[in-house]
Copies of this chain bind each other. A is one copy, B any other.
Amino acid sequence: MACVPLVHVQAGDFSLAEEVRRLTGGRRDVGAVVTFTGLCRDEGGRLDALELEHYPGMAEAEIGRIAAEAAGRWPLTGLTVIHRFGRIAPGENIVLVVAAASHRRAAFEAADFLMDFLKSRAPFWKKEHAAGEAGVWVEATEKDRDDMKRWQR
Contacts and interface: CB of A to CB of B under 8 A. Distances in A.
Contacts of A41: 28-31, 102
Interface stretch (A3-11, A32-40, A56-64, A129-137): A32-40
A82 interface: no
A20 B111 CA distance: 17
A90 interface: yes
Given A33-B37, A38-B32, A91-B24, A104 B108 contact: no
Nearest to A42: B28
Nearest to A26: B91
Copies of this chain, count: 2
Contact-size category for A:
35 or more
A30 B39 contact: yes
A108 to B, nearest CB: 5
Nearest to A38: B32
Nearest to A143: B105
Given A17-B16, A102-B41, A108-B112, A91 B35 contact: no
A64 B39 CA distance: 27
Nearest to A34: B36
A81 interface: no
Given A28-B90, A31-B41, A33-B35, 17 more contacts: A16-B16, A28-B41, A29-B42, A29-B44, A30-B39, A31-B38, A31-B39, A32-B36, A32-B37, A32-B39, A34-B35, A34-B111, A35-B35, A35-B37, A38-B104, A108-B111, A108-B112
